[in-house]
Structure 1
Amino acid sequence: MKSNFSRFAVYYLPCPGSPLQRFGDKWLGWSITDGEFINHLQGQLPATEHAKITVNPQKYGFHGTLKPPLRLKEKFGQNELINAVHHIAKMHHPFMMPGLILQVVDQFMALVPMEHSPAMHNLASALVTGLDSFRKAPTQEETNRRLSVELTSRQTKLLEAWGYPYVLDEFHFHLT
């Protein structure tokens, strides 16, 4: 099956209707589950400033990345990728995510786990390694964009091996 999508990723999404999902939707002003704009969270931040800082993350919806975006090799279709994700997910037991705290991550605010979750880390690592055969090599433009920020030597090696610098031992789950 051919798809209209050019990139695919595996995201954690809060349960629909949960307080976390409603908070994330209100913060961004976009419901990822309904695919529609909603009123921003009312708070201390002026509405224009709130809209300004959420315009970029809004297009992705409130989520946590488990497997960074990839472009599919031509020999694979969307259904094959979805089946592989299901297969990997079935190999992991359900787990509870630790409590979350608000923290500055690079240049943005994010909700991060209060403590390390080995189960979350193992799932993310399995998705990165288990789906790599589906990943088309990054374009030079994509590689240059990733290299335009300061990366450690380890992150550069991860970028070369897995197409993204913040995976495996450099993975830090966060919700934005």
Structure 2
Amino acid sequence: MRYALYFSPAADHPLTKTASRWLGRDAFSGERFETAVVEGISTEDVHALTADPRRYAFHATLKAPFELAEGRSEAELIEALERFAAATPGFDIPNAVIGQLGRFFALVPDRVYPELQAFAASVVEDFEPFRAPLSNADIARRKPESLSPEHRDNLMAWGYPYVMDEFRFHMTLTGQVPPEQAPAMRTALETRFADFTNTPLSINGIALFIEPERGVDFTVHRWLPLAPASDIRKTTP
């Protein structure tokens, strides 16, 4: 069993519904959908290009998948998550857009926002005691010899290369899209997600995802709302 802490909108949020239909799977309900239609790209190619994000489901990684540390239990992890959510105020990413990370398309902020960086770092740090050390096989899968020194240090310290200063918030929508298919894919994504781009994205919850065994689909085990910012201000001395 592996666990992961992700940002996801709530199960009934329109963005969750739209993204689930795009990817072909709802991580909350388990419902599956027909492959999305993209003009200029075959159904088979679209299905293949959404396969990897479909397995992980719609999310932004905060603390990457991990096995529980020795002596830690799922009940303790959920209890800690409940405390974290109750004490952490929600906030908005001021502007979300369709962007590319290499050949991957994702919903991303239009720039780096310090509040978002600090939130992600707090999740990584606060839940580190629950993470079992990476196995040698897990380290090898990350190809540490090909990582930058910063990414390699993060991998060894936190179990994932893209944390702290190297964190970039992204909600993955495709696998690696060949350059010749990228314009058609961008057009399709910008059309489908038009209601959620060039507008704020509310970070108002945190989700515990689980992978019951290696290689199977990730599902939402628990979704918790973050505290309203006004409530946090009222209790701050």
Q: Which 10-residue stretch deviates more, 56-65 or 14-23?
A: 14-23
Gaps in structure 2 of 5+ consecutive residues: 173-237
Q: Distance in 1 between matches of 2:12 and 2:126?
A: 31
| 1:141 corresponds to | 137
| 1:22 corresponds to | 17
Gaps in structure 1 of 5+ consecutive residues: 1-5
Q: Distance in 2 between matches of 1:113 and 1:123?
A: 14
* TM score, norm. by length of structure 2: 0.67
Q: Distance in 2 between matches of 1:124 and 1:101?
A: 19
Q: Distance in 1 between matches of 2:145 and 2:62?
A: 21
| 1:55 corresponds to | 51
Aligned length: 171
- Tell me the C-alpha RMSD between the 2 structures: 1.6
Local SS of the residue matching 1:99: strand
Q: Which 10-residue stretch deviates more, 86-95 or 166-175?
A: 86-95
Question: Is structure 2 residue 57 aligned with structure 1 residue 74?
Answer: no
Given residue 114 of structure 1, which amino acid in structure 2 is its aligned partner? D
Given residue 33 of structure 1, which amino acid in structure 2 is its aligned partner? F
The Cα shift of 1:92 comes to 2.1
Q: Compared with structure 1, are the counterparts of its residues 162 and 30 closer, same or farther at alpha carbon in structure 2 (3 Å cutoff)?
A: same
Q: Write the deviation string for residues 56-115 of structure 1: whole angstroms up to 9, x where unpaired.
A: 221111111111111101301111111112222333211113322112213421111123
Higher gyration radius (CA): 2
Structure 1 residue ranges (4+ consecutive) displaced by more than 6 angstroms after TM superposition: none
Q: Distance in 1 between matches of 2:87 and 2:150?
A: 28
Higher relative contact order (CA 8 A, sep 6+): 2
Q: Distance in 2 between matches of 1:166 and 1:99?
A: 22
| 1:88 corresponds to | 84
Tell me if structure 2 keeps the 8 A contact 1:67–1:127: yes
The Cα shift of 1:120 comes to 2.2
The Cα shift of 1:25 comes to 0.8
Q: Distance in 2 between matches of 1:132 and 1:100?
A: 28
Local SS of the residue matching 1:100: strand
Tell me if structure 1 keeps the 8 A contact 2:97–2:108: yes
Tell me if structure 1 keeps the 8 A contact 2:144–2:152: no
Instruction: State the identity %.
Output: 33
The Cα shift of 1:52 comes to 0.8
Tell me if structure 2 keeps the 8 A contact 1:31–1:61: yes
